[in-house]
Amino acid sequence: MPKNKFGGNKSKKGKNIVVKKELVDIEECEQIAQVIKVLGNKRFEVKCGDGKTRIGILRGSMKRNSWINRLDVVLIEAWEFEDKKCSILHKYSYEDYYELLSSKQFPENFVLEEDQDKELDDYNPFDINDSDDENSDSLDDPDIKKLVINIDEI
C-alpha cells in the first residue's frame, strides 16, 4: 500500500510544527512606532520614532490576520501627502521587540510607554480605615449636619 501523504483527520493531530518567521527589516522610509490608543475601524493613534503622533491605518493585507492592541510595537510608513497619517505595515511580537533592542535598530530618542494603570492597582475596595479623625471631621461639615436625622424629631 502507498504511504498516506495527505492523511486523514487523525493523522494530522500531532503535527503542530512552529516555524520562526524572519524579522522584518526597517527600510529607509519606514519607522518604528508604538500604539497609544485604539480608535476603532482599524485606525490607531501611534507615537512614531521621530516624536510625532500620527493616525495609523492598518493596511489591507493585515486587516483579518492580526490583532493590534494598545502598547504594541509596529512598523509604519508615513504618508508623503498627509503628514498626520501613516500606514501600519507590520506588528512586532515580543520576541521580535527584544531582538530589535539587542540589534539597536530603535532610534535613540524613542522611548516606549509602559502601561500606567498603577492607580487602579493601588486601589483596594476592602481596605477599611477606622481612624477617629475622619469621623470627627465629617460631622463638623455643615452640609453633613443637615443630613443627620434625629429619631426624637420623627
Residue type for position 89: L
Better-scored residue on pLDDT, 30 or 63 = 30
pLDDT value of position 65: 83
Count CB atoms within 10 A of the CB of residue 124: 7
pLDDT value of position 95: 87
Q: Is the pLDDT of residue 117 over 70?
A: no
Q: Is the pLDDT of residue 90 over 80?
A: yes
pLDDT value of position 142: 57
56 DSSP β-pair partners = 44, 86
Is there a contact between 72 and 34 (Cβ–Cβ < 8 Å)?
Answer: yes
CATH number corresponding to 30-116: 2.40.50.140
35's CB contacts (< 8 A; 6+ apart) are 44, 45, 46, 56, 68, 69, 70, 71, 72, 74
pLDDT value of position 9: 65
Q: Is the pLDDT of residue 122 over 70?
A: no
pLDDT value of position 70: 92
Q: Where are the domains of the chain?
A: 30-116
pLDDT value of position 35: 94
pTM assigned to the model: 0.62
Better-scored residue on pLDDT, 8 or 24 = 24
pLDDT value of position 46: 95
Residue 137's SS3 state is helix
pLDDT band at 136 (very low <50, low <70, confident <90, very high): low
pLDDT value of position 21: 78
